[in-house]
Amino acid sequence: MATQKNHPNSYEARDSASIVHPLTNLKTHLETGGVIIKEGDGIWVTDIDGKKYIEGMSGLWCLSLGYGQQRLVNAATEQMQQLPYYHLTNHKSHTPAIELAEKLLQIAPVPMSKIWFSNSGSEGNDSAARIAWYYWHSMKQPKRRKMISHLRAYHGNTIAAASLSGMHYNHASFGLPLDGFLHITPPHYYRFALENESEDDFTSRLASELETLINSEGADTIAAFFTEPIMGSGGVIVPPDSYYGKIQTILKKYDILLVADEVITAFGRTGNMFGTTTMNLQPDMIVCAKGLSSAYLPISALMINERVFAAIAEQSDEIGVFGLTFTYSGHPVSARVASETLRIYEEDKIVEHVQALEPFFLGSLKALLSHPLVGEVRGRGLLAGVELVADKDSKKAFDANQQVGKYCVERAEFHGLILRAIGDTISFCPPLIITESEVVLLMARFKQALDDTLEMVQN
Ligand SMILES: Cc1ncc(COP(=O)(O)O)c(C=O)c1O
């Protein structure tokens, strides 16, 4: 077993070498090991050496209510005792899933008809793609197989979800994306606008790129368009206000289904209960996960509108059953925890809290625009990205080999703050329960990391 430099004497640290760690350089990890987290409290986590960090990313954009939510522990415990497992196949059902589905339909941001449960955001998106195909079979247009999404999108890592994703590292050496998964320019004005192009011209150009693609592929071959209302893992990209109006006009014109991937943006993150509301979308399906249970247990929910449900119901009647199934769909313990999570969002007025804190949170980050490294600050609610650049006037990026973003988050970690680098964009997604004084502390630690990074690039 490889010795790990960070924690040479720790049994637990040595043990981490037995894991294949996702989104990690596997070879480097054998040498360096990693930070091993032991416990959490509120927005804080503590590692096995007793060092405390602010969890500035809510884990993987998911732990919305932070650690120590006793109500969620109680809900899980009670459900474990009463009915730890049942399934939803062959006309069976159970109360935790029914209650959660009814609640989700009640709070849906646009009229929705039914909920399909699975266990992760990836399965939710995979299911949405499968359901789109099934829908078009039912509509007697089985040639509609192709999916369109954005370059830099992240929709998950099952084979269809990874194909929908527009990340090089999800595709390279895996032989992905699958055929028929097409990607268009992400709506990131700062990075992708042409010189002197107005925001309006930029979104018109992107809309026309979409329409050209649809026409060149044949509209009768396109099943659905997937989008994150605000793109998370691609670098927290907030589309310009005029973007989705133009995109949705084209999707309607060619009768293409719209799927909103709200795996990060749902449940208050962007200052509304749903990112669909923040960005004014009219999706046919919405994928929710992560904050649905505040990450206390795995669960995802796909909202399906009546147009889609009516068609897939017909098709299942023709075939005999709806042949999409997971053993743990709507798992009762996860569903019960999710319902309790939704109650906490409402009772603790989490959306209102995010709205109240947003100006201070984003304002504190925007104040860093005066820092020599900060090219752009973007975000909504308590979701933000800070892009570091080599030259602010020309927006020139650093050479990727310099790994400036990576260095910055390493320094943040040194100062007791966990963030994530997406290239040279530093992302922020703190637990929604964070207070103003905790934001002050977070910003102070980030500023130290930025200054350390400036020192590094100047030497
Ligand atoms: C927008 C989005 N969609 C889908 C996923 C995949 O979710 P999961 O990791 O639960 O499969 C993620 C995960 O980060 C995500 O950010």
pLDDT at res. 16: 77
Answer yes or no: is the C-beta of 264 below 6 A from any ligand 1 atom.
yes
pLDDT at res. 7: 47
* Ligand 1 atom showing the smallest separation from residue 228 Cα: 1
- Domain segments of the chain: what residues? 35-68+351-458, 71-347
pLDDT at res. 4: 42
Answer yes or no: is the C-beta of 219 below 6 A from any ligand 1 atom.
no
Q: How far is CA 272 from the centre of its chain?
A: 16
**Chosen CATH of 35-68+351-458 out of 3.90.1150.10, 3.40.50.620, 3.50.50.60, 3.40.50.1820:** 3.90.1150.10
Ligand 1 centroid–CA 154 distance in Å is 7
Answer yes or no: is the C-beta of 262 below 6 A from any ligand 1 atom.
no
Cα–Cα distance, 391 to 373 (Å, whole number): 8
Q: How far is CA 254 from CA 151, 207, 305, 309, in A?
A: 21, 13, 18, 20
Cα–Cα distance, 313 to 306 (Å, whole number): 10
Asked if the domains at 35-68+351-458 and 71-347 fall in one CATH topology, the answer is no
Which residues, 6+ apart, have CB-to-CB distance to 435 below 8 Å? none
Ligand 1 centroid–CA 367 distance in Å is 30
pLDDT at res. 279: 98
Q: Are strands 285-288 and 52-55 parallel, antiparallel or unpaired?
A: unpaired
Answer yes or no: is the C-beta of 261 below 6 A from any ligand 1 atom.
yes
**Chosen CATH of 71-347 out of 1.20.120.330, 3.40.640.10, 3.40.50.2000, 3.40.50.720:** 3.40.640.10
pLDDT at res. 15: 60
- Give the residue carrying structure tokens 């029914």: 98
* Ligand 1 atom showing the smallest separation from residue 156 Cα: 6
Answer yes or no: is the C-beta of 120 below 6 A from any ligand 1 atom.
yes
In the chain, the amino acid numbered 66 is G
- Judge residue 140's burial from the number of C-beta atoms within 10 Å of its C-beta, 0-12 exposed, 13-18 middle, 19 or more buried: exposed
Ligand 1 centroid–CA 375 distance in Å is 27
Residue nearest to atom 13 of ligand 1 (CA): 156
In the chain, the amino acid numbered 354 is V
Ligand 1 centroid–CA 380 distance in Å is 18
Answer yes or no: is the C-beta of 126 below 6 A from any ligand 1 atom.
no
* Ligand 1 atom showing the smallest separation from residue 121 Cα: 7
Out of 150, 227, 263, 269, mutate this one to test ligand 1's pocket (max ligand atoms within 8 Å of CB): namely: 263
pLDDT at res. 3: 37
Q: What number of residues does the chain have?
A: 459
Q: Could you list the pLDDT tens digit for every one of the 459 residues in the chain?
A: 333 444 444 444 446 789 999 999 999 999 888 999 999 999 999 999 999 999 999 999 999 999 999 999 999 999 999 999 999 999 999 999 999 999 999 999 999 999 999 999 999 999 999 999 999 999 999 999 999 999 999 999 999 999 999 999 999 999 999 999 999 999 999 999 999 999 999 999 999 999 999 999 999 999 999 999 999 999 999 999 999 999 999 999 999 999 999 999 999 999 999 999 999 999 999 999 999 999 999 999 999 999 999 999 999 999 999 999 999 999 999 999 999 999 999 999 999 999 999 999 999 999 999 999 999 999 999 999 999 999 999 999 999 999 999 999 999 999 999 999 999 999 999 999 999 999 999 999 999 999 999 999 998
> What is the token pair recorded at 41?
């409290």
